[in-house]
Amino acid sequence: MSTEPTGEKLQKLLAQAGLGSRREMEKVIAEGRVKVNDKTAKLGDRASGRDKIKVDGKIIKAITAEKYAGRVLIYNKPEGEICSRNDPEGRRTVFDRLPKIPNGRWISVGRLDYNTSGLLIFTTDGELANALMHPSTVIEREYMVRVLGNVDEPMLQRLHEGVLLDDGVARFTDIVDHGGEGANRWFYVVIMEGRNREVRRLWESQEVQVNRLKRVRYGDVFLPSKLKQGQWTEMPGKEVDALYKMAGLEVLKPAPINPKDRQSFERQERKNKPVHRGRRTPNK
């Protein structure tokens, strides 16, 4: 009798377990870091929830035969945090404040610069994160920005029509003047891509300086007004469903949560002191 594993492609299962995108998992498999039933896996292998799967020697218990929705956090990033998991310079990262979860990890949907604050979305579903970031998924990103310098209507028109940057033409799809005093003025701006430092570079191309930048919206997800900097809150079920729809993915039911894991998460919630938004539980 054959003992070859059957089921879903291995990189898909690992992505569903929240270990990263499918492309990232393909690299992990190609590097020989994954074993299925104690046999080193290779690209093209399949597996199911019945198989024993290890990554870097650690059993991945979140692999299931059934696909569940990922959990999602909204985080209000302060200035002075980086979006990498580790920093050689010892700076604080956005992952330092996030709650610990069993058998998975939080994956950031996009990044914000060190000196940029505001909305970051995290999920345990690598497939969801990858879909939300993919260029084919056209999603608006809205920022509140304070600029120093002389801003006139011709400049705003240029920024709206498009400016040639080092990596191609970029533009704001919407610009709303929010007032200000003296040489400082506030604007709400919207971009459709997530290029590196795109908002800052657009303004700097017009010889004005950005001295405050905060992301306030990602698609249909807004930064909650009561969520303080450095705090997170878990997105409730209906909003998670809407996020999957926005990413063009199938809406899935939530995974059952072990009571001990739920208690651990609730303790971390109390310590974090976020706005309480709740979380759906599976239908019985």
Catalytic residues: 113
CA atoms within 13 A on the CB side of 209: 5
SS3 126: helix
Burial 116-153 (b: 16+ CB within 10 A, else e): bbbbbbbbbbbbbbbbbbeeeeebebbbbbbbbbebee
Q: Dihedral, CA atoms, 90, 95, 97, 102, nearest 10 degrees?
A: -130
Burial 236-270 (b: 16+ CB within 10 A, else e): ebeebbebbebbebeebebbebeeeeeeebeebbe
**C-alpha distances out from residue 143 to 67, 206, 211, 223, Å:** 34, 18, 13, 11
Long-range contacts of 58-66 (CB under 8 A, 24+ apart): 60/14, 60/17, 60/19, 60/103, 61/102, 61/103, 62/16, 62/17, 62/18, 62/102, 62/103, 62/104, 63/13, 63/14, 63/16, 63/17, 64/16, 64/255, 65/7
